[in-house]
Amino acid sequence: DTALTDPVSSELNVQKVEQKTEPSLAEGSSLSLPIPPLLEDENSDPAIAEYTLTADYGISEIIPNMTTNTLGYNGNLLGPTIRSKVGEAVIIHVKNNLMDSTTVHWHGLIVSGKVDGGPHQIIETGETWSPEFVLTQPALTAWYHPHLMGETATQVYQGLGGLWIHDDEASSSLGLPETYGVDDVPLIIQDRAFYKDGSLYYNPNMMNGAVGNVIMINGKVGPYAEVPSSWVRLRLLNGSNAAQHKMNFSDERPFYQIASDGGLLESPVKMTSIELAPGERAEIMVDLQSTQKGDAVFLMVSNTKSLKLVSNGTKTNNYVLKDQLVEIEKWDSADVENERYFDLEGVAHMVSINGESFDMNSVAFSLPVGRLEKWTVSNVSDSSGGMGMMSSGTEHSFHVHGLQFQVLSRNGALPPEGERGWKDTVFLKPGEKVEILVKFTLEGVFMYHCHNLEHEDAGMMGQFQVTE
């Protein structure tokens, strides 16, 4: 089958990730960046937000003039953005119109195990699952995606996933750009590959899982977006199955990271590039105040011109960058009551955590609500014996459900500034070791796993129980 070895991208002159100088589709892009619609609250009571998400089949134009069979929530591809506020009751009706079972996990939201949407909360074909919860955590950019054992990777790859933006008073009092889709722009970044006929090419048969050769942003390859000549806030999600991605601007302009996975940082962090592993989010602020109408800068993703940002000359905010964003109560490692170790090991489908593969019926450990623990997470894949040529190992990204944690150290040193806020996912290169502080507030059974979705589906996951 020639199609299998000849994905469509080269024909379309879409730049391959590793070829840095070839013009990319974004350069002459004809597709405008879609902004996921905000999901409408169906409940007239201001204290209750009620939403419906329906997983279904779709047909999408991801590459200009080609059609791709996809999956989406309430549409052809991806899903609407759900927006919540601290203290409001949220009810979501998740309907499964697919021929397969699915689940929906609220990645980054602190909810009890019963409504977390992990592999146990299966929604069969034709059924509706209606979790309810109240969020008390600080403002953050979170997301939702399927979490069905063994099928998370393929369901996400075909298009299931969406953003969740949670607000609180602190975040809305900072004067940050907040006009959704205008100067507060969500970007779901995912690599994909395609056959010549436009259909999705899913190839997980590599040691790193499924890594595509083109970048899709909000469901389009190489789109353009109009932006104001103001400060612009970009909410970045690496929603890829397996690849970490570096983001920077084509003119190397600096920008400021203002939020990590779990919300705002204490202070903006100035940088010229940021790397996100699968599952990680970051909010960044880029100063386009001095741009003129028509000026363009590209967002580069893994050295590919992936999104063309074209200034429209309008001013939409008067943001002035401040040193202080929010205060984060730092947990003290002197208060740690218990320690645990998580060794991430292996490549391809031979992956494990502490030598174990996921078993739906076994709970690795339990701990009480409110206990501060230190978890040491090590990527030991470089030392796994018998792997021969794969001795250099592979990256893993460690995600924990049910909380936001704090990174105590990375390789024995203070974590980089962008990791000093709330996190729910951390990236580990071969040989790396990260210590995190965890403290749970809600009970239930939760997952810890590698967010490389092929690794997760191959069993690189475990579960634990939080008790009252």
* Chain contacts with ligand C2O (rule: CB under 6 A): 105, 107, 145, 147, 279, 399, 401, 447, 449, 451
244 near Cu ion, judged by CB under 5 A: no
Query: Would you say 119 or 177 has its CB closer to ligand C2O?
Result: 119
Query: Would you say 269 or 445 has its CB closer to ligand C2O?
Result: 445
Give the range of 75-83, 234-242, 429-437, 451-459 binding Cu ion by CB under 5 A.
451-459
Q: How far is the CB of 331 from ligand C2O (least distance, A)?
A: 22
Task: Determine the 3-state secondary structure of 6 from DSSP.
Answer: coil
Q: How far is the CB of 357 from Cu ion (least distance, A)?
A: 13
Q: Looking at 182, 403, 450, 461, which residue binds Cu ion (CB under 5 A)?
A: 450
Query: Is 78:219 a contact under the CB 8 Å cutoff?
Result: yes
* DSSP-derived secondary structure letter, 125: T
428 near Cu ion, judged by CB under 5 A: no
Query: Is 464:367 a contact under the CB 8 Å cutoff?
Result: yes
Residue nearest to ligand C2O (CB): 107
Binding partner of residue 455 among Cu ion, ligand C2O, none, CB cut-off 5 to 8 Å per kind = Cu ion
Q: How far apart are the first and last CA of the chain?
A: 56
Q: How far is the CB of 401 from ligand C2O (least distance, A)?
A: 6
Query: Would you say 233 or 399 has its CB closer to ligand C2O?
Result: 399
Q: Does an H or E element contain 82, and which?
A: strand 82-85
Query: Would you say 83 or 120 has its CB closer to ligand C2O?
Result: 120
Q: Which tokens in the block code for residue 59?
A: 């047909």
- Distance (Å) of CA 212 to CA 62, 159, 241, 367, 377: 14, 14, 9, 39, 28
The residue type at 259: A
Q: Looking at 147, 166, 220, 396, which residue binds Cu ion (CB under 5 A)?
A: 396
| Closest C-alpha among 82, 16, 15, 35 to residue 225 | 35
Query: Would you say 186 or 279 has its CB closer to ligand C2O?
Result: 279
Q: How far is the CB of 438 from ligand C2O (least distance, A)?
A: 15
| Closest C-alpha among 329, 241, 247 to residue 284 | 247
**How are strands ordered across the β-sheet holding 105-107?**
82-85, 162-167, 140-145, 105-107
Binding partner of residue 447 among Cu ion, ligand C2O, none, CB cut-off 5 to 8 Å per kind = ligand C2O
Distance CA 92, CA 55 (A): 13
CB neighbourhood size of 186 (10 A): 24
Q: Where do contacts with Cu ion occur on this chain (CB under 5 A)?
A: 396, 450, 452, 455
